[in-house]
Amino acid sequence: MHFMHSPKLEEARAFAVKMHGPQRYGAHPYVHHLDAVVAILEPFGLEAQTIGYLHDVVEDTEATVADVQSLFGEEVAQCVTLLTDEPGIDRKERKTKTYAKLAGVSGVLEVALVVKAADRLANVRACVADGNIGLWSVYQSEQVVFKISAFRLGLCGAIWSELELLLSSENRPLSV
């Protein structure tokens, strides 16, 4: 499904696989989700793909921002930090804080917003494929606020177009 273009990208994938360990993404090993995100990111280059593999390691594993920084550099670590949900009592509070953080991103760190959009698209594609109406509905309900915080004109329009299409009411998955 994906093509390795650099030792650094292979290192990022191996680190993510190791850190996520036995975690699952639905019925699949977690790397299934990471590979899906990175495939979407292929047109955006190796840095975006590297961040794609690492986007959940600080949020969902024992890995720290310092680990990511020492292995992959300051800019990648800053992007992973931006992609890591802020603490909160529930999803709504976590996402509100995280989206506020994303709204302030500019310059070289905007690659994090491309990764965030690719992550969301991979998640929504999975909801549609798996008929996960519950999670699809959550993403649909968050889409307006998510787009306000993460969309930048000219950054990754094709990702946003597909996301809008998949979250339109006509594409509501049939529950299985």
Q: What is the pLDDT of residue 122?
A: 98
What's the rounded Cα separation, in Å, for the pair 145 and 72? 31
**pLDDT score recorded for residue 1:** 43
**Per-residue H/E/C for 65-91:** HHHHHHHHCHHHHHHHHHHCCCCCCCH
Which residue matches tokens 């509070």? 93
Is the CB of residue 11 less than 8 Å from the CB of residue 22? no
pLDDT for 55 beyond 70: yes
Task: Check whether 69 has a pLDDT greater than 90.
Answer: yes
- Report the sign of the C-alpha dihedral through residues 9, 97, 105, 143, in that order: positive
Distance of alpha carbon 156 from alpha carbon 91, whole angstroms: 26
CB atoms within 10 A of CB 106: 8
Report yes or no on 1 lying in a domain.
no
* CATH number of residue 14's parent domain: 1.10.3210.10
Is residue 15 in a domain?
yes
Strands 28-29 and 24-25: antiparallel
β-partners of residue 55 are: none
* Residue 176 counted as domain residue: no
| Segments forming the whole domain that contains residue 29 | 7-171
Residue 2, in any domain of the structure: no
Mean pLDDT, residues 96-108? 95
The per-residue pLDDT for range 147-174, each reduced to its tens digit, is: 999 999 999 999 999 999 999 988 888 7
Band of pLDDT at residue 175, cut at 50, 70 and 90:
low
Using the predicted structure, report yes or no on whether residue 67 has a pLDDT greater than 90. Answer: yes
Say which amino acid occupies 87.
P
Is 53 a domain residue? yes
Taking each helix axis from N to C end, the angle separating 7-20 and 31-41, rounded to the nearest 10 degrees, works out to 150
What does pTM read for this prediction? 0.94
Element of type H or E holding 113: helix 111-130
